[in-house]
Structure 1
Amino acid sequence: MHGLVGELIGTCVLIVIGAGVGAGIHLQDSYASGESNDWFYITIVWGLAVTMGVYVAGSFGSLGHLNPAITIAYALFGLFSWHSVVPYLIGQFIGAFIGAVIVIVHYYPHFSATEGEKQGNTVGIFATMPAINNPVFNFLSEVIATFFFVLILLNLGDFTKGLKPVIVGLIIFVIGAGLGPTTGFALNPARDWGPRLAYTLLPVPNKGIGHWNYAWVPMLGPMLGAIFATGLQVMLA
């Protein structure tokens, strides 16, 4: 239960801050409107969102994965107990969904003031979309970005302790800056699917569509990238 609760609350924190910056820059009439092309701004806030989520998750007794790709890849190679996989996954997806709900409530008047996708009321506030729609290369981009993210992460040891969550946030920032502009760098199936589902199901004013035809990319790409990185680390260790 500690793992489930920690992952749920930590992932919720991650999405509230991360999707919150997306809402702030895309929706009309917020003080952050007009910053939508500032990729540096977006990537650093997502990095800090992960930092805060890891700290909170760790304080509730989880390992701060916040990411099914990490949980599953670690379990496959004996770095994490299979007994804890299901509670971690449940916590991650539910936490991501709840985080998106909180952002929708927080920005509700701004969703009402933003008339459709042309003005910025899109699922991209919550989930990832490719800059150029090319499913094969979009998938490869997610595999590559997640591979390097997890490879670096594996060499931090317990990344919930001390200043290590700050380092995790910096990793997210540099991966996002260097490899993220192609797809929006999901790196994390729960971070994409939980908020995408919330945006699709909830009565968000003037909302666009969920673009579920693309959702397999941020689900499978990070999974494969994390498995490749963990396998390589275990093989060479």
Structure 2
Amino acid sequence: MNALTAEVIGTALLILFGNGVVANVVLARTKGNDSGWIVISAGWGVAVFIGAFCAADFSGAHLNPAVTVAMAVAGKLAIGEAVGYIIAQFLGAILGAALVYCFYHEHFNVTEDADAKLACFCTSPAIRNLPQAFFCEVVGTFALILPIFLMAVPSLIHGDAPAETDPRLGLGALGLLPVGMLVFGIGLSLGGTTGYAINPARDLGPRLVHALLPIQGKRDSDWNYSWVPVVGPLVGGALAAAVYLAIA
């Protein structure tokens, strides 16, 4: 399996499990209805671990344009390769979101809350203050990327690896478990303001799916907010890479 296929599959699994746990919690008449934020945060942590575990050996398991941009800033990924990764991540996110809708189709039909339906695809702020939400997405993504870089094998970041560029994070299979725990922790500690997108593909791809699918009783897809969970994570990822290079 090549790297781009791995990014598509890994990101699709990430969204299937991640948005799937949101659907299980917020949609009507599911077995997990109203089970709460801890379940959502835990589900996203597991989702990251599963998606990354499946893609790690083939692509380095970025599954997130913010990670890819951070690796490019760190000099470990060529720009052309980074563009391919990001396209693959968006395709995977779109596929995963469509699968969640198909899986929970009957529950979408019986759910009256249009905001809950949108939440199964993308994020929104708890208090609508866009500059504050942007700041939260920057900080949340920074808190994701910098620890990942600090956990990674240093040679893969510093350029001591045999290849000039290397998309792998160097974490290994067991190292991906702390990344899943990291995402769980971000959800518990920093997710209460914006829903912690911390991943442009995770938010924009499914938001597009929500806009295009004939979902019964849906609302608009909140395009006025959509730039925040895209630009914020990209800025946060780039800042984390720059800080790591400065201190490492």
Q: TM-score range by the shorter chain?
A: over 0.9
SS at match of 1:30: coil
Q: Is this contact kept in 1: 2:28–2:111, CA < 8 A?
A: yes
TM-score relative to the length of structure 1 = 0.94
Equivalents in 2 of 1:104, 1:53: separation in Å? 19
Deviation at 1:79, TM superposition (A): 2.3
Which residue in the other structure is 1:170 paired with? Answer: 181
Gaps of 5+ in 2: 153-168
Whether contact under 8 Å (2:121, 2:207) holds in the other structure is: yes
Match of 1:139 among 124, 134, 138: 134
Over residues 84-107 of structure 1, what are the superposed CA-to-partner deviations in whole Å (9 max), with x where a residue is unaligned?
112211110000000000000001
Answer yes or no: is 1:27 the counterpart of 2:19.
Answer: no
1:103 counterpart SS class: helix
- How far apart, in 2, do the equivalents of 1:115 and 1:192 lie? 22
TM-superposed CA distance for 1:196, in Å, is 0.6
Shift of 1:159: 5.1
Q: Output the CA distance in 2 between the equivalents of 1:26 and 1:205.
A: 16
| Counterpart residue number, 2:8 | 8
- Matched position secondary structure for 2:122: coil
User: Could you give the per-residue CA deviations for residues 3-31 of structure 1, whole angstroms, max 9, x where no partner exists?
Assistant: 21011000000000000011111111111
The answer as to whether partners of 1:43 and 1:176 remain within 8 angstroms in 2 is yes
Once superposed, what is the RMSD of the aligned Cα atoms?
1.3
SS of the residue aligned with 2:136? Answer: helix
Q: TM-score, normalised by structure 2?
A: 0.90
Q: Tell me the amino acid that sits aligned with residue 9 of structure 1.
A: I
Check 1:144–1:102 CA distance in 2 against 1; reply closer, same or farther (3 A cut): same
Contact 1:64–1:160 under 8 Å retained in 2: no
Cα deviation 1:132-158 (Å, max 9, x = unaligned) = 000010000011111111110101213
Which of 97, 100, 103 is equivalent to 1:103? Answer: 100
Alignment check: 8 A CA contact 1:131 1:183 kept: yes
Following superposition of structure 1 onto structure 2, how do residues 62-73 of structure 1 map, counting pairs within 5 Å? 62-73=59-70
1:227 positional shift: 0.7
CA deviation after TM superposition for structure 1 residue 52, in Å = 0.3
Answer whether contact 2:53 2:173 (CA < 8 A) is retained.
Answer: no
* Paired residue secondary structure (1:162): helix
Shift of 1:70: 1.1
Alignment partner, residue 203 of structure 2: 192
Q: What is the total number of aligned residue pairs between the two structures?
A: 232
Aligned counterpart, 1:92:
89
Query: Are residues 1:124 and 2:145 paired?
Result: no
Distance 2:100 2:171 in 1: 25
Q: 1:35-68 CA deviation, whole Å, 9 max, x = no partner? A: 2xx2111111101100000011124x11100000
What letter is aligned with 1:107?
Answer: Y
CA contact (8 A) 1:116 1:208 kept: no
Long gaps (5+) in structure 1: none
Shift of 1:160: 5.1
* 1:77 shift after superposition: 2.7
Instruction: Give structure 1 regions of 4+ aligned residues with deviation exceeding 6 angstroms.
Output: none
Distance 1:160 1:211, change over 3 A: same
**8 Å Cα contact 1:46/1:172 also seen in 2:** yes
SS of corresponding position for 1:155:
helix
